[in-house]
Amino acid sequence: MVSYDVRLDGITKRFDDVVAVDDVSLDIEAGKFLTLLGPSGCGKTTLLRCIDGFETPTSGDVFIRGERVNDIPPFERDTSMVFQSYALFPHMTVGENISFGLEMQGFPDRDQATDGGVATNGGFGAAFKRLVSRTGSEEIDARVAEALELVELPDYQERKVSELSGGQQQRVALARALITQPTVLLLDEPLGALDLKLRKNMQVELKNLQKELDTTFVYVTHDQEEALTMSDQIAVMNDGHLEQLGSATEIYEEPETEFVADFIGETNLLRGSYTETPDGAVVECNGLSFRVPHEPDADGEVSFAVRPEKIRLGKDARGLDNVFEADVTDEIYKGNLGKFVVDLPNGQRLTVDMQITDRSKYFSTGQNVAVGWSADNAVVLTR
Ligand code: ATP
């Protein structure tokens, strides 16, 4: 039986007139890596903060392992958060920062809420004193060492955080969140401040770590490639609401809305009128007729999406369901991959990605070529 670590039931969060999260219901399976993906301002962070307890939903319920936690403060929830800004204490050592994660778990004055995940003012001072008096304890030392092993920074306990690189600081922030062994680890754009190469390495490491720990990860990003690389499930958000929930393949290959088709990867979106004919479904679009898969919900105006890599040019286009003459208006040569922009006779512009296995597959601006794709490679979108 599938068990869920997090259940969000009709979560709405308003800030005055802004509806940051709009009636989102979402079940997050135990031990899975779920990504909240969407453009800036779509409500991802607010939803994450509702799970953690830093925000209280205006309406709706949050459940963690079946328990309704709306009224439970952040540090009593079985969650831990990793922030893009790391929220580390620069003049404390790595070990002190990480064991502070444990201290937060036993933080007595829970009304002393946090700013960016860090206890503030007098609350922190008191907690820090207790922490220092306890860092010698064997159990804490052992758990810090274990957390540092996990993030591949062994023997870094005594280093000052200010002496670490951005990537190393990120690992420390991760270790601090993991040391409490939370049921759910929440990560808010944790790789956002890293350079591209490091980010790509960390994506793989984070995914491996998640599998190894078998802990539920809820990860926020606006980077669709990052989401596709790491996630078991992706929840695509737009303007506060949930557009689609699915695996990376489902989101990429079977988008349910124009927004998802357009936001994830690159696509060609065409609009027209859907009709069923004896030869199959077609969309009439500015004087051309395009064969598309049968879509039971389609009626009248629809759009359909075709990915650039599903389109063929030249002799590879022959015999496909949709074949047209087109003019090449732009080409970008990328070694073994060519990106071409072609115009159909009705003025519709398409982007095509082709593997260049030999020179006959390379086309130049101004050339007239056949362009084609199979009906099955289009996705009809009714929303
Ligand atoms: P980003 O990727 O830029 O971080 P996001 O998808 O995480 O964006 P949120 O930070 O959740 O989006 O913000 C959603 C909306 O709610 C935005 O319009 C934002 O301005 C608004 N918002 C968020 N927090 C507050 C707040 N404390 N007070 C008022 N408005 C807020």
| Residue 260 forms part of a structural domain | no
| Ligand 1: residue whose CA is nearest its atom 9 | 43
Ligand 1 center to 20 CA (angstroms): 6
Spatial distance between the Cα atoms of 247 and 293, rounded to a whole number of angstroms: 22
Per-residue pLDDT tens listing for the chain (383 residues) = 779 999 999 999 999 999 999 999 999 999 999 999 999 999 999 999 999 999 999 999 999 999 999 999 988 899 999 988 888 888 889 999 998 877 766 533 333 333 333 333 333 334 444 444 444 467 788 888 888 888 888 889 899 998 898 888 988 998 988 888 899 999 999 888 788 888 888 898 889 989 988 999 999 999 999 999 999 999 999 999 999 999 999 999 999 999 999 999 899 999 999 999 988 999 999 899 999 999 888 888 999 999 999 999 999 999 999 999 999 999 988 777 889 999 999 999 999 998 887 777 788 899 999 999 999 999 999 88
Whole-angstrom distance, CA of residue 90 vs CA of residue 238 = 36
Residues 136, 76 within the same domain: yes
Of the residues 253, 278, 299, the one at which a domain ends: 253
Which of 14, 15, 16 should be mutated for ligand 1, with most atoms under 8 A from CB?
A: 15
**Could you tell me if 325 and 353 lie in one domain?**
yes
Same domain, 283 and 365: yes
Q: Are residues 232 and 303 in the same domain?
A: no
CB distance 373 to 320 below 8 Å: yes
Using a 6 Å cutoff on CB, does residue 332 contact ligand 1?
no
Beta carbons of 256 and 39 less than 8 angstroms apart: no
301 within a domain of the structure (yes/no): yes
232 Cα–ligand 1 center, Å: 25
Q: Are residues 280 and 237 in the same domain?
A: no
- We report the CATH number of the domain holding residue 374 as 2.40.50.100
Domain count for the chain: 2
**In the prediction, which pLDDT does 123 show?**
39
**96 and 231 together in one domain:** yes
**pLDDT in the model for residue 274:** 94
Q: Of the residues 42, 189, 224, which should be mutated to test ligand 1's pocket, given the most ligand atoms within 8 Å of the CB?
A: 42
351 and 203 together in one domain: no
Let me know whether 167 and 286 are in one domain.
no
- What DSSP character marks residue 37? E
User: Does 310 reside within a domain?
Assistant: yes
Q: Closest Cα to atom 30, ligand 1: which residue?
A: 15
232 and 293 co-located in one domain = no
- In short, whether 221's Cβ falls inside 6 Å of ligand 1 is no
3-class DSSP assignment, residue 13: strand
Please report, as a single letter, which amino acid is at residue 25. S
Q: Are residues 238 and 196 in the same domain?
A: yes
Q: Which residue's alpha carbon is at the smallest distance from atom 1 of ligand 1?
A: 40
Residue 85 forms part of a structural domain: yes
Does residue 24 have its Cβ closer than 6 Å to ligand 1?
Answer: no
Among residues 253, 284, 318, which one ends one of the domains? 253
Q: Is position 162 within any domain?
A: yes
Closest C-alpha to ligand 1, atom 3: 40
CATH code, domain carrying 146: 3.40.50.300
Please check whether residues 99 and 153 belong to one and the same domain.
yes
- 140 with 187, same domain: the answer is yes
Determine, yes or no, domain membership for 40: yes
Q: Which residue has the tokens 């519709």?
A: 348
> Across the chain, what does the average pLDDT equal?
87
Residue 261 lies in a domain: no
Instruction: State pLDDT tens for residues 88-113.
Output: 888 889 999 998 877 766 533 333 33
For residue 235 the two structure tokens come to 């929840």
| pLDDT for res 106 | 55
Task: Tell me the residue range of the domain where 102 lies.
Answer: 4-253
In a domain, 68, yes or no: yes
234 close to 34: Cβ distance less than 8 angstroms: yes
Please compute, for residue 97, the number of CA atoms within 13 A of its CA located in the half-sphere on the CB side. 31
